[in-house]
Structure 1
Amino acid sequence: MSVTIREFAKDSLIPKGVLLYLNREGIIQDPLCREDHIGLQLLEKIWGRKEVLRPQMAKLSMKARVNFIRTADLPSKWERYAYTRFRNQEESKGLAMRTVVEEIEITFGFSLNKQQIERLYKIRNRAQVARHREKNIAEKQNEPLLQSANK
């Protein structure tokens, strides 16, 4: 009996998106063959282990690692794009939500629905909070450790 990728994903530790990526790259077939099952069982045994993740992450620059971790839980490219766009905006300049919506629609070729626009507001807030926290940490690091009592 052959199992499709979507059926396999229901009971697997490996997310469906990763399985579909492996299929697009020609690494596994849909439906899965015997060899695919064996390879995926091996992958499931090591999935998420720090011993495997650490050397993979070590190949990235520190900046790339931090950016990767910041957006790791954002499932789609447009969400990661929006987060990065809001995160990197200059403080003195505003970035209108309409501008980002238009950029996403042009870049990714689809119109955002109401639910996706609500998601975009949450992403913007998350990016702003992260930027604000980072700014506060930087300011605290620049403060002298001991305040002079003779001011």
Structure 2
Amino acid sequence: MTRHGHECVFCRIARGEAEASLVHGDDLVTAFLDINPVTPGHVLVVPRRHVASLGELEDPEAARLMLVGRFVLGALRGGAVRCEGVNLFLADGEAAGQEVSHVHLHVFPRFAGDGFALHGDWSRFPPRAELDALAARLRATLP
């Protein structure tokens, strides 16, 4: 990919240079159907500007990304597709599962038996002192 994302598929879609089934577009973000959907109606919301990580977004871009995600959620819940719930998913970094190096928010409808599952060890309950110490470290680094 070039420095400015000219070979990035999401940049090409945002510029209208690559084929996509558009759902929304404005000056900050664009939303389109995922070509490899988790479920029918799976939408990606991406900033128009090439940015690899969520932390690199300007505040208005980050806010618009989530707001448009919420609008799409409303449309999905409004009956356009089978939808009993919605997941919002954003992977930041390769270790988190990010496959395209351009920030993208997944918005996908869920329904009983859709075959999608988040896997993890949800059985660990750290002691309160450990949680409080971690919370203090996080607070110390917040802007």
Range of TM-score over shorter length: under 0.3
State the TM-score, normalized to the length of structure 2.
0.25
Higher strand share: 2
Structure with higher Rg: it is 1
- Comparing both chains, which one has the higher relative contact order based on Cα–Cα distances under 8 Å and sequence gaps of 6 or more? 2
